Every structure is written in structure tokens, then in C-alpha cells.
Amino acid sequence: MSDEKRKPTPEEKAAAAAEARAKAEALRKLREQEAQASQEASQVEPSQEPQEEVSAPDAKPVSEMTPEEKAAAKKAAAAEAITKAKAAKEQAEASPTSAKPVSEMTPEEKAAAKKAAAAEAIAKAKAAKEQAEASPTSAKPVSEMTPEEKAAAKKAAAAEALAKAKAAKEAKEAAEDGADTADSDADAKAKAAAAAKAKAAAAAAAKAKAAREAGGDESSDDDAKAKAAAAAKAKAAAAAAAKAKAAQATGDESPAEEAPKAPSKSQPYLDKYVSRISEAFGQEVIEASYINELGKEVPTLTIQNERWHQVAQFLKDDEQLSFEYLSDLHGVDYEDRLEVYYHFYSYKNRQSLAVKVKTSREESKVASVMDLWHGANWNERETFDLLGIHFPGHKDLRRILLPDDWVGYPLRKDYVQYDEEV
């Protein structure tokens, strides 16, 4: 940080105030000396001739002087006063001051400057005091003075007191102004530094915003990807934490040390179904096979749409399968496709099976199994009524819940109601 922008320390403020006070004191002493010199010069005026009698104790009394001697004494006193005032002014101007600003000083330089200012002020005060004591005073006692001399002495004392009071007031004001100026300069520097810092921050923010706007869609895509990645990471962390918490609740110290999960009790049945269907129609007819852990561990198959009716016939007629009962049939909308879900049961083998058949949304159709399981009649009509899936081979495919003139299929996710009043 540069010295112009750095906020002054308390020591720097104190040093600046001390320096200002020392200068003010020196100025006050100089003004006192000038006032005293002026007063001494005025005492040699013709109207104050009685005072001149005491101005030069070694010389001849004024009353005994000739006019020429009086004029010479007056001229000498004026020249002496002017010389003293000039010497005092030169001494004040020649006083050593800090050539370096306080803000740039080292701690040792600040202490030295403070000490020098104090010594200078003491020396000036002592010199002023000695000069005042050495200034010519009335050698004649007041009791011996004439009325004119007493009046002049009284007037001179009053003028001197007034000059001292004025000089003291000016010195006090100068010292206060110096301290205020130092504080004001420090505050101004601090405010300027804060303003510069705020301006730099605003410029940086504007530059960053302009860079983002100039980046266009690429930066937007990058931001979106970054946000998506962060969300996925947070989701994974939350899932891991939940899994660890569940493991601790069950008494397991570490999920990594869990024993391998035992195969499902329905796995042998699933293997049996896959084997029988693959032998009869080939492996490609089965698009997927798994144990539905969320559905009572029922073996589940996904069968090709084009081969579905043949596989359904095989499921019912094969002696090792014998799924003579269709317990349920319903449709599902997955937005990108439609599916028909079948649930079968074999009373002979006491086994269950679930089958899924996919179809597109634009030309949704799945072969009817009404000719194999008569219970599929109303289920297929309901699926057609609410999802719009057609079942070729059905003998009476028409709406079962809604009127024939109803527009649309209410269970589709893109359904928009045609009659707003209904």
C-alpha cells in the first residue's frame, strides 16, 4: 500500500499535532517580539519624552539632551528595535523543520522530530523571556516619576498585556488548526483510499460481468454444466451420508464391510422363465429381465412388442409355466413411451410373473390378449379409454368410463381438457 493511500497511525497524528503546536508557539513568540519592538519604538515619540528618560540608563537623561541628541537617541532606539525583530524573524525562519512528511518517516525519525520540535519550542520561549528581561525598563522608581511618565508607563504595560493576550489566543488557534488539519488530512487520505478501493471493486465487477456477457451461450452452457455437476455431486454425497447413517443405525461400523447381498428367493424362478422363453423364441425376444425389489421381488420381463401375443400364448400353454390367471393389466405414460403392465399367476406352480410391453406415443398399440384371458376385456378397454393405447384383436374396443365423443385421453401427461366447463 502506498503512503498516499495508507491511513496515518496514532503516532503519526501525535507527531503532526506536536509539530503544529511547536510552529504555533514559535509564531506567537515572534509576534510578541515584534509587538515589544514596536512598543519600544513608539516610546521614543516626542509625545512620550518622559519615557525616554528611562530607555537608556547609561546615557544622558532626556531632560538634559539637546534636540540633536534626542533625535539621535530616537533613531538609535528605532534601529535597535527593527534589528531585534528582524533577527527574531530570521531565527524563526531558519529553525529546522522536517523536510520529510510525517507519513514517510520511520519511527526513529518521528521520535527525533518530536524531540527536536519540543527542544526548539523551549529554546524560543527561553530566548523570548531573556529578551524581555533584558529589554530597557524604567530605571526610575514609580514614586519619582512625573505624572506624564506614570501615564506613559501605564499605557505601555496595558499595550504589552494586550499584545501578550492576543499572541496567546492566536497561538492556541494555530495549534488547534494544526491538529485539525492533521486529523483532516488523515481522514481525507483514509476516505480517498476507501473510495479508490470501492472504485476498483466496482470496475472488477463490471469487467467480470462484461466477460460473462461476451462469453455468450458457451459460458452459459459451462455454468449450467458446472451447476449440474455440483448438484449431482451434492446428491451423491447426501446419498452416501444417508447410507452410512443407516448402516450405523443397524449396528454396522462400515458400509464397505457389509456382507454380499444374498440372491433373491425369486431368482430361480426368473432364471426358469428366461430359459424357457429363450429356448422357444430366442434370447432377443426378451428386452430385459430383473427382480422387482420394490414389488415383492416379483420376477419381471420386458418382451418385444411384435412377438408379444406369441409369448403370451406360450406363458399360458407351456406346462412348466402355466400362467393361467391374468390378475391385472394397466397402462403407464413415461412421456417418451407408453407401456402396458401385465401381472400373471400360476395356481399350478404357485408362482408370479410380471411382463412389460412398450409402445410409442404416436402409434400406440399392443396386441390384445382378450382371446387368451377373458379378464383382459375391461382392462384393455379402460387402458384405451384413459391412455389411448389400441389393442388390435380386441372384439369390442370402445370407451368404458368416458362418453364416446370425449376428446383426448385424461391419463396422458400431455392431456389438455377440451371442455373447460366440465
Quick one: pLDDT at residue 133? 59
Cβ contacts of 189 within 8 Å, gap of 6 or more: 4, 5, 6, 7, 8, 103
Is residue 294 included in any domain, yes or no?
Answer: yes
Rounded Cα distance between 152 and 150, Å, is 5
For 350, the domain range is 266-360
Q: What are phi and psi of 417, to 5 degrees?
A: -65, 130
Return the C-alpha cell found at 374: 377373458
Return the C-alpha cell found at 233: 455431486
Is residue 322 included in any domain, yes or no?
Answer: yes
Rounded Cα distance between 109 and 100, Å, is 9
Any idea how long the chain is?
Answer: 422
Quick one: pLDDT at residue 57? 43
Quick one: pLDDT at residue 26? 79
Evaluated on CA atoms 301, 303, 308, 311, the torsion sign reads negative
pLDDT in tens, 97-155: 445 666 667 777 777 777 777 677 677 766 666 665 555 444 566 677 777 777 777 77
Return the C-alpha cell found at 226: 458446472
Is residue 385 included in any domain, yes or no?
Answer: no
Rounded Cα distance between 9 and 339, Å, is 79
Rounded Cα distance between 235 and 243, Å, is 12
pLDDT at 335 over 80: yes
Among residues of the chain, what percentage have pLDDT more than 90?
33
Cα→Cα distances 369→312, 331, 356, Å: 7, 14, 13
State the SS3 of the chain. Answer: CCCCCCCCCHHHHHHHHHHHHHHHHHHHHHHHHHHHHHHHHHCCCHHHHHHHCCCCCCCCCHHHCCHHHHHHHHHHHHHHHHHHHHHHHHHHHCCCCCCCCHHHCCHHHHHHHHHHHHHHHHHHHHHHHHHHHHCCCCCCCHHHCCHHHHHHHHHHHHHHHHHHHHHHHHHHHHHHHHHHHHHHHHHHHHHHHHHHHHHHHHHHHHHHHHHHHHHHHHHHHHHHHHHHHHHHHHHHHHHHHHHHHHHHHCCCCCHHHCCCCCCCCCHHHHHHHHHHHHHHHCHHHEEEEEEECCCCCEEEEEECCCCHHHHHHHHHHCCCCCCCEEEEEEEEECCCCEEEEEEEEECCCCEEEEEEEEECCCCCECCCCCCCCCCHHHHHHHHHHHHCCECCCCCCCCCCCCCCCCCCCCCCCCCCCCCCCC
Is residue 343 included in any domain, yes or no?
Answer: yes
pLDDT in tens, 158-174: 777 777 777 777 766 66
Number of domains in the chain: 1
Is residue 383 included in any domain, yes or no?
Answer: no
Quick one: pLDDT at residue 102? 66
Cβ burial 297-326 (10 Å sphere, 16+ → b, else e): bbbbbbbebebbbebbebbbeeeebbbeeb
- pTM assigned to the model: 0.41
- Are the C-beta atoms of 73 and 56 separated by less than 8 Å? yes
Is residue 156 included in any domain, yes or no?
Answer: no
Rounded Cα distance between 335 and 330, Å, is 16
- Reported confidence tier of residue 22, pLDDT bands at 50, 70, 90: confident
Residue type, position 318, single letter:
D
Quick one: pLDDT at residue 45? 47
Rounded Cα distance between 388 and 419, Å, is 18
Q: Mark residue 216 as left, alpha or beta (left: phi above 0; alpha: psi -120 to 50; beta: remaining).
A: left
Is residue 309 included in any domain, yes or no?
Answer: yes
pLDDT at 65 over 80: no
- Reported confidence tier of residue 300, pLDDT bands at 50, 70, 90: very high
CATH number of the structural domain spanning residue 322: 3.30.460.80
Is residue 85 included in any domain, yes or no?
Answer: no
Return the C-alpha cell found at 283: 434370447
pLDDT at 180 over 70: no
Cβ contacts of 314 within 8 Å, gap of 6 or more: 276, 277, 280, 281, 321
pLDDT at 88 over 70: no
